[in-house]
Amino acid sequence: MPVLFPHGVVASQESALIVQATLLMLIVALPVFFLLFYFAWRYRASGRGRHMPNWSHSRFDELIWWAVPIEIILVLGALTWTSTHMLDPHKPLSPAGDAMVVQVVALPWKWLFLYPQYGIATLNFVEIPTQTPVEFQITADAPMNSFWVPALGGQIYAMPGMINPLRLSADSPGDYHGVSANYSGAGFADMHFNLRAASRDDFDTWVASVRKGKGVLSAPVYSALRVPGVAATVAYARVQRGLFDRIVGQFLDAGSPMRH
């Protein structure tokens, strides 16, 4: 259960939130269960419970069950407000701004990862260093998808013409399952990838080995990727300059004042 037993700081906070909220709700839910079955047993027709057919309102009692849920929701609401701001996927994990950037493109039906700081790219798998905040900049050249690595933290939608940032970080080395969570057509079920978190040294070695490779992500290669279909994993040693910007920009209006 990667959601409840996570491997990343964001996912850990999210799972703690799930547990906290569940415990809070049990304050109301358990009495409901208890009262339901207790009353059902106690006041069954053949039972000995008192019968008061016309007892139909009590201002005091009603006040209690308006007040108790209101208070719990107030607490949950406060928890929601703070946790939503804390877990805002757009918020940098570390204030220094030293995050590693991975640009993600959801394609029909594959995931393309570009590493602008290293000039390399990968298809259908991604590698990141552990203990490092990573900023995924997510877009799509396809119908809406959702980028989700349950072990590291919550998802965000991948949409054409938008860059949706998602900040994650991995605690320990390992292979984590990543998927698209939003249905995007026939090949959707195949739209998953492996995220490998490696120690800084292993990661650097990996980058160097990719750079030694031959594959180049040029415009024609990218065009071929846009054709709907499933693909294997590929590593590209070089990437055509400005590719990501143009992938996003193709959907935007150059002259429109709405563009930010």
Q: Which of residues 7-36 bind other proteins (CB under 8 A)?
A: 11, 13-15, 17-18, 21-22, 25-26, 28-29, 32-33, 35-36
Q: Report how many residues bind other proteins under the rule CB under 8 A.
A: 108
Spatial distance between the Cα atoms of 1 and 11, rounded to a whole number of angstroms: 12
From residue 19, how far is each of 3, 15, 23, 81, 92 by CA, in Å?
Answer: 11, 6, 6, 17, 24
Which of 186, 204, 208, 213 binds other proteins (CB under 8 A)? It is 186
Which of 126, 156, 197, 198 binds other proteins (CB under 8 A)? It is 156
Q: What does residue 91 show for φ and ψ, rounded to 5 degrees?
A: -85, 130
| Closest separation in Å from C-beta 209 to other proteins | 28
- Tokens 């590291």 sit at which residue? 152
Spatial distance between the Cα atoms of 57 and 77, rounded to a whole number of angstroms: 30
Helix or strand or coil: residue 3? coil
109: cis peptide before it, omega within 30°? yes
Spatial distance between the Cα atoms of 193 and 165, rounded to a whole number of angstroms: 19
Which of 102, 181, 198, 235 binds other proteins (CB under 8 A)? It is 181
- Footprint on residues 127-146 left by other proteins (CB under 8 A): 143-144, 146
Contact status: 222 vs other proteins (CB under 8 A)? yes
- Footprint on residues 83-122 left by other proteins (CB under 8 A): 83-91
**Token pair belonging to 122:** 């990968």
From the list 182, 196, 60, the residue with the least C-alpha distance to 134 is 196
**Nearer residue to other proteins within complex by CB, 65 or 209:** 65
- Footprint on residues 38-67 left by other proteins (CB under 8 A): 39-40, 43-45, 49-57, 61-62, 65-66
Q: Which stretch binds other proteins (CB under 8 A): 113-121, 157-165, 196-204, 205-213?
A: 157-165
- Footprint on residues 237-256 left by other proteins (CB under 8 A): 243-256
| Closest separation in Å from C-beta 173 to other proteins | 19
| Closest separation in Å from C-beta 236 to other proteins | 16
Helix or strand or coil: residue 230? coil
| Closest separation in Å from C-beta 219 to other proteins | 5
Other C-beta atoms lying within 10 Å of the C-beta of residue 37: 10
